[in-house]
Amino acid sequence: MANLTSLLLFLTTLLSLLLPSLSYKLTIPLFPFPKPPSTDLLQSLNFHAAASLSRAHHIKNPEKSPHPSPSTQVPLFPHSYGGYSVSLRFGTPPQTTSFIMDTGSSLVWFPCTKHYTCSQCQFRNIDPTKIPTFIPKLSSSSKIVGCKNPKCAWIFGPEVESQCPNCNDPTRQNCSQACPPYILQYGSGITAGSLLSESLNFPEKIVPDFLVGCSFFSIRQPAGIAGFGRGTESLPSQMGLSKFSYCLVSHKFDDTPQSSDLVLYTGGSSADDPRRNDTKAQRSSYTPFQKNPGPPNSAFREYYYVLLRKIIVGKKHVNIPYKFLVPGADSNGGTIVDSGSTFTFMEKPVFEAVAQEFESQMANYTRAKDLETKTGLRPCFYISKEEKLDFPELVFQFKGGAKMELPLTNYFSLVSSSGVACLTIVTDGVIGPERNGGPAIILGNYQQQNFFVEYDLERDRFGFRKQNCK
């Protein structure tokens, strides 16, 4: 933690020094890149388990930086590092940039300027020296956000002008000082930069004066992030969306060119998606979003909370203490939906109850405890010599009766080289230290594969149904 604090202080100082000359020239320090990770599936699962835990730790302990068509479709692509990306066009003329679609954060930011540097970004199929960047000087609509711009306060809060000494002088009517540089943490990585006002371009719609982050430096962030959270600065909030939906194609962790659609609804959401046949078998199930009872300025307010009533393994309801199912006044507990997490996270008591039920119902299978240590997943079972496979079903039941009945491939992954299947749910203490607080359950994108998922913002509800996303 001390190293991270020192790094954040260093970046804040660095960006503050760079800020006066942002429109002219930027100089960013270079960092060495590590060796690329192994492409072995076992190590890949370990990577995603660790990344999911890092993501969960950040979500549970968030830190705000101190310092005309009714719908639009854009393709979503899965990636080897566990996220799903979408291409968006900013600027005049437009420049296309790839973003990770993230419902667990709110700011939209892209790698920015030709001096952009990303440390520890040498993931498979990613060359950190060739990450495409947005170039502000090539856009006539690009403007630095000033300290007195109300959008600056979206990120830094209403007291932001205290960080802008040139704006505190009452004799100065027009303050041209830029909004302070931001530093944001995303689980295992961070990004830092300055805020811009830009045009977001779609074929049918242009969103002017869109607040976007121009990041000069990142750690372990191989692409920009499109924040779809509940914050004022998120893409849904700035576009005034009534709802958005997606259908995630299956993870192969191989950067497949296969994609599915992210749909943005700018009109009313009273009517269902007209492109589907509205038979009873195809209707979505809905559960209301929940409010986090914490302080109004809490970062937990950005998350999409849903009320998970029951977890069912096989035909048995797992006994989960109430305090983990509903967020309390201290903001701890409850369930959120997060497209930016790969594997679903459960706090230790919840996970143990679920894992032990799987272990009990699969007692006739041989445990692969050696691979549990290597993958960071548990339980794992040897299945290559089994004549018949019989896995208990996993069902999440939400308020209102909505049941998410997961396909087997959404909660067990096969380590093909060893004939072992592992439960793709993570918890603290398996990889890394235990950290309590914040959401008790984080529903990741691995468990959302091949579901049509809908965030109905107008009706304040979460919908889903099984669908082949291909």
Half-sphere CA count of 63, side-chain side, radius 13 A: 15
CA-CA-CA-CA torsion sign (167, 168, 169, 172)? positive
Distance CA 464, CA 206 (A): 29
- Comparing CA positions, the residue from 379, 341, 387 lying closest to residue 363 is 379
Distance CA 221, CA 100 (A): 9
Task: Provide the pLDDT for residue 169.
Answer: 67
Task: Provide the pLDDT for residue 39.
Answer: 43
Query: Could you list the active site residues?
Result: 102, 338
Exposed / middle / buried, residue 280 (Cβ in 10 Å: 0-12, 13-18, 19+): exposed
Task: Provide the pLDDT for residue 12.
Answer: 45
- Sheet containing 308-313: which strands, arranged edge to edge? 316-317, 308-313, 394-398, 403-406
**Domains identified in the chain and CATH numbers:** 24-45+78-262 (2.40.70.10), 285-466 (2.40.70.10)
Based on DSSP, count helices (H) and strands (E) in the chain, helices before strands.
7, 28
Predicted confidence (pLDDT) per residue in 392-441, tens digit: 999 999 999 999 999 999 999 888 667 899 999 999 875 444 556 789 99
- Tokens at residue 244, please? 């958005």
**Rounded to two decimals, what is the model's pTM?**
0.82
**How many C-beta atoms lie closer than 10 Å to residue 48's C-beta?**
26
Distance CA 205, CA 73 (A): 12
pLDDT per residue as tens, the chain (470 positions): 444 444 444 444 444 433 333 332 211 111 222 333 344 555 556 655 666 666 666 676 665 444 433 455 555 444 444 578 889 999 999 999 989 899 999 999 999 999 999 888 777 667 777 889 999 999 999 999 999 899 999 999 888 877 787 777 666 666 778 999 999 988 778 999 999 999 999 988 899 999 999 999 998 887 899 999 999 999 999 999 999 999 988 766 445 567 788 999 987 644 455 444 444 447 999 999 998 888 777 788 899 999 999 999 999 999 999 999 999 988 899 999 999 888 999 999 999 999 999 999 999 999 999 889 888 899 999 998 877 889 999 999 999 999 999 999 999 988 866 789 999 999 987 544 455 678 999 999 999 999 999 999 999 999 999 998 87
Task: Provide the pLDDT for residue 18.
Answer: 39
Distance CA 424, CA 411 (A): 5
Q: Are strands 95-102 and 224-227 parallel, antiparallel or unpaired?
A: parallel
DSSP structure class, residue 134: B
Whole-Å CA distances, 445 to 113, 150, 330, 354, 357 = 31, 34, 27, 19, 23
Q: Which amino acid is located at 225 in the chain?
A: I
3-class state of residue 6 by DSSP: helix
Task: Provide the pLDDT for residue 135.
Answer: 97
Distance CA 201, CA 49 (A): 36
